[in-house]
Amino acid sequence: MLERTVQIVSNERSTDAYYRLVVRAPEIAPLIQPGQFAHVRIAPLKDALLRRPFSIFQVQGDTFSILYKTVGKGTEALSRMRPGDELSVIAPLGHGFTVPQPGAETPLLVAGGYGMAAMYLLAQRSPQKGIVFVGGRRRVDILCEAEFQSLGWQVRATTEDGSHGEKGLVTQPLLEEIRNPQSAIRHPKLFACGPTPMLKAVGQIAEEYKVPAELSMDEHMCCGVGVCLTCVIPIKSGDDWEYQRTCSEGPVFDAKDVAWEGVK
């Protein structure tokens, strides 16, 4: 984990409310593992001391990028920043996904909206190619399909309004695949990132069909480095449970360890 002032290389609108930000960070880029995040201080904000967490999307040479949705004042201010502007970032942070070993399980990735950002490096670095199930409310919420396809992955998109791919929830085609006796997928393992209800549904599917799963939990964060305890979630421990920090023990947890009855 490093704290560095980095320069913006580009910050462009991707679709609708989604932007791609590329920063030059030669010391950070080589350290990044799939599923890790950056904690970004957005200087133009009045409460700039409060950083915002974003999954690291892609790494290229001495740069890394994030894919973000404008939802509030921090991300709005970020979307107005220009190439050459500076940001303070702490990265890479958190415990990411386990990259499959050669010849081991076949990854099935499940992403909701900007959850797709956490998946790209895993897809790129996994020796086995699998299927990416991506869901969103509308067509504009389905991000970077073509980039996953160009890595050789199959992409199955769902939208709630039916404007792209299959109509419905992302868990429907996932269930069809897992239940299909003719499926070509051998030894599946699920990796998911998205809104909490989606993660919970993936966790239930994993439990019911006895498929291993890793979930990247989306909790509000303040410090991002394990000090403030804003981001804790209940994790099973023997017959009991304990709070663990999403920013440092997570954001990725084994699905069977999450004590869902205590998750908000």
Place of tokens 């299927």: 131
Taking CB under 6 A as the criterion, which residues in 224-243 touch ligand FES?
224, 226-231
Task: Lay out the site mask for ligand FAD across 172-211 (x = CB under 6 A, - = otherwise).
Answer: ----------------------------------------
DSSP state of 55: E
Under the binding rule (CB under 6 A), the answer on residue 69 touching ligand FAD is: yes
Taking CB under 6 A as the criterion, which residues in 167-226 touch ligand FES?
221-224, 226
Under the binding rule (CB under 6 A), the answer on residue 263 touching ligand FES is: no
Q: What counts of helices (H) and strands (E) characterise the chain? A: 5, 16
Contact present, 87 and 3 (Cβ < 8 Å) = no
DSSP state of 260: G
* Cα dihedral across residues 201, 147, 11, 9: positive or negative: positive
User: Of these partners, ligand FAD, ligand FES, none, which one is at the site of residue 226 (CB under 5 to 8 Å by kind)?
Assistant: ligand FES
Candidates 212, 205, 193, 204; CA nearest to 254 is 212
* Distance of alpha carbon 264 from alpha carbon 258, whole angstroms: 12
Q: How far is the CB of 168 from ligand FAD (least distance, A)?
A: 22
Q: How far is the CB of 67 from ligand FAD (least distance, A)?
A: 6
Using CB under 6 A as the criterion, which residues of the chain lie in contact with ligand FAD when the complex forms? 37, 52-55, 66-69, 71-75, 114, 117, 218-221, 251
